[in-house]
């Protein structure tokens, strides 16, 4: 009697032991990001919608183009390019030129993702890699948070000129409730700490992401700010740091990227702590008020080492009983 052959499906990481596939996971991330993205469109007007649409469409285009050039199966159906484009667009100011989200998507997909092998092979978060590329190349445009005329934000914004995070760094007082809800200046998708927090909790409850990374990230950052922020145990100052800038967007949606975050439980805890400390150093002692993007990218490079140090030893000879 002939033996039955079992076919094994070999694919790139992330390898998650659940019935859900990559497409389902990415769609859930899009769903969690949608409220903050829609609020950004409401806040900044139709131009915000244009920036997001250009970023998403160009990310999908460049991935399909690279699939064709590299003779790979079309992969845009897994929605990973949509997530990359959406995150990149949400990390851009509304006033950037129309070509910048297209250039950023090209860098994210072609350079960071596809040239390293595609989904599961990239060594850093593609959207953040593109944001840092644009920030270094076009610092003036990326730091220009001028709000278009005839938007709701021009009525509700309590901070003129600088973003709330820059105002906090300068020692100025801000409207904390406006920053928590999102009626402030900033990038398109980072302003509403409330909606980003709810989206992150949704991903944790549905087990799309592990709570260890964002909780350890925000917790270690909070402790660092209280110890070295120069304001003592000032909870108002801490709340201002937590609700402004890209901390919530980075902690819940980009630091938790499957490919560029550790797979070991202990590694995720250490990873989150490193993220919090680095963000605190960049924000408090750096020239810029923000530091989330660079903290996450730098920590992405440490992930292989963290996994090597924190991986569980095999049970049996040379291992430890659990």
Q: In 3D, which of 38, 46, 81 has the Cα closest to residue 61?
A: 81
pLDDT at 290 over 80: yes
Of 132 and 22, the one with more pLDDT: 132
CATH of domain 22-310: 1.10.3430
Look at 9-13, 133-137, 171-175, 186-190 and tell me which has the smallest mean pLDDT: 9-13
**27-41: pLDDT as tens digits:** 999 999 999 999 999
Rounded to an integer, the average pLDDT of 257-275 is: 93
| pLDDT value at residue 315 | 62
Of 222 and 154, the one with more pLDDT: 222
Q: In 3D, which of 149, 142, 182 has the Cα closest to residue 35?
A: 182
pLDDT at 256 over 80: yes
pLDDT at 160 over 50: no
Rounded to an integer, the average pLDDT of 200-217 is: 95
Residue % of the chain over a pLDDT of 70 = 86
Rounded to an integer, the average pLDDT of 270-279 is: 96
Q: What's the whole-model pTM score?
A: 0.87
CA triple 159-162-164, angle to 5 deg: 60
What confidence tier does 165 reach under pLDDT thresholds 50, 70, 90? Answer: confident
DSSP state of 67: H
Would you state the structure tokens that stand for residue 128, as one six-digit string?
């953040």
pLDDT at 3 over 80: no
DSSP H or E stretch at residue 224:
helix 212-228
**101-114: pLDDT as tens digits:** 999 999 999 999 99
Question: Which residue carries 């304001």 as its tokens?
Answer: 231
| pLDDT value at residue 221 | 96
Of 131 and 120, the one with more pLDDT: 131
Q: In 3D, which of 115, 109, 126, 119 has the Cα closest to residue 12?
A: 119
DSSP state of 76: G
Rounded to an integer, the average pLDDT of 49-78 is: 93
Rounded to an integer, the average pLDDT of 199-210 is: 94
Q: In 257-270, which positions are buried (b, 16+ CB within 10 angstroms) versus exposed (e)?
A: bbbbbbbbeebbbb
């Amino acid at each position: 009697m002939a033996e039955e052959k079992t076919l094994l499906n070999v694919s790139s990481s992330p390898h998650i032991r659940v019935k859900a596939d990559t497409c389902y996971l990415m769609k859930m991330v899009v769903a969690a990001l949608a409220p903050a993205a829609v609020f950004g469109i409401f806040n900044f007007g139709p131009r915000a919608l244009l920036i997001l649409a250009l970023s998403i469409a160009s990310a999908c285009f460049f991935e399909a183009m690279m699939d064709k050039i590299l003779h790979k199966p079309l992969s845009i159906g897994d929605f990973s390019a949509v997530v990359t484009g959406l995150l990149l667009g949400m990390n851009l100011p509304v006033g950037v030129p129309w070509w910048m989200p297209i250039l950023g998507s090209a860098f994210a997909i072609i350079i960071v993702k596809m040239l390293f092998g595609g989904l599961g092979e990239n060594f850093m978060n593609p959207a953040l890699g593109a944001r840092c590329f644009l920030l270094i190349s076009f610092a003036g445009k990326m730091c220009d948070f001028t709000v278009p005329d005839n938007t709701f934000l021009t009525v509700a914004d309590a901070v003129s000129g600088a973003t709330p995070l820059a105002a906090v760094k300068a020692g100025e007082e801000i409207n904390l409730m406006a920053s928590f809800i999102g009626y402030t200046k900033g990038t398109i998708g980072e302003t509403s700490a409330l909606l980003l927090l709810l989206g992150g909790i949704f991903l944790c409850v549905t087990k799309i992401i592990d709570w260890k990374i964002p909780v350890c990230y925000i917790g270690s950052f909070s402790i660092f700010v209280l110890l070295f922020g120069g304001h003592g145990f000032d909870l108002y100052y801490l709340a201002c740091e937590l609700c402004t800038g890209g901390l919530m967007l980075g902690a819940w949606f980009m630091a938790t990227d499957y490919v560029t975050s550790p797979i070991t439980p202990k590694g995720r805890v250490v990873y989150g702590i490193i993220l919090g400390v680095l963000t605190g150093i960049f924000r408090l002692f750096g020239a810029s008020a923000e530091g989330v993007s660079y903290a996450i990218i730098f920590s992405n490079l440490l992930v292989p080492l963290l996994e090597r140090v924190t991986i569980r030893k095999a049970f049996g000879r040379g291992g430890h009983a659990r």
